[in-house]
Amino acid sequence: MKKIILRAKKIFESASLNHARRLKAQGVSDGKNAGFTFVETLAVLVVTGLLASQVGIATNSLIQRAKVSSAKNQIEMFKVALQSYYIDCGRFPTGEQGLSALWEKPSMYPLPETWNGPYVEKKIPLDPWGNPYIYFSADGVALSLAGTSAPEGLPYAIVSYGADGVSGGEGAERDVVSWE
């Protein structure tokens, strides 16, 4: 009986070895060396991190361009509302009255007797960077106070100081103005 068991064990080991050789020849792993090495895993993580950072940078650039576009669109909306205000009241709001005169009737001099607003759909929002829009009127106040190079002869100027919230700047920090 012992001979039969030893013989069966030998046949089984031989068949198992032949099967493993055939799998290896076909490019199939026997399972002992399956998986990734630490270096391979680390390389995949580095490449994934680099790709994710590039996507983040590209997304940030798109967001900044969208904010500039949004500020330009809001300034254009204010310009249309200011024209309607001018048609009704015969003048633009003063610098002290500001853009809020488009939402609610001004209570300071000169009082517009023919105010027929509101001229905008909702209260004047902040710019896309969370700062108020700056309104300058040519009612005795020089538009150069806007801190920008506003052309002469304009009845008003509307300015968003951009991402940095101060006059001037380049790129995302560049001012968005009503005359450009």
Instruction: Give pTM, 2 decimals.
Output: 0.67
The answer on pLDDT for 8 being more than 60 is: no
pLDDT tens-place string over residues 59-77: 888 888 899 999 999 999 9
Q: Starting from the edge strand earliest in sequence, which strands make up the sheet with 176-177, in order? A: 134-137, 156-160, 176-177
Residues recorded for the chain:
180
pLDDT tens-place string over residues 103-113: 999 888 888 88
The answer on pLDDT for 37 being more than 70 is: yes
CB 85 within 8 A of CB 102: yes
Confidence bin at 29 (pLDDT 50/70/90): low
41 burial via Cβ count (<10 Å: 0-12, 13-18, 19+): exposed
List domains and CATH numbers for the chain.
58-180 (3.30.700.10)
Q: Which two tokens stand for residue 174?
A: 């560049």
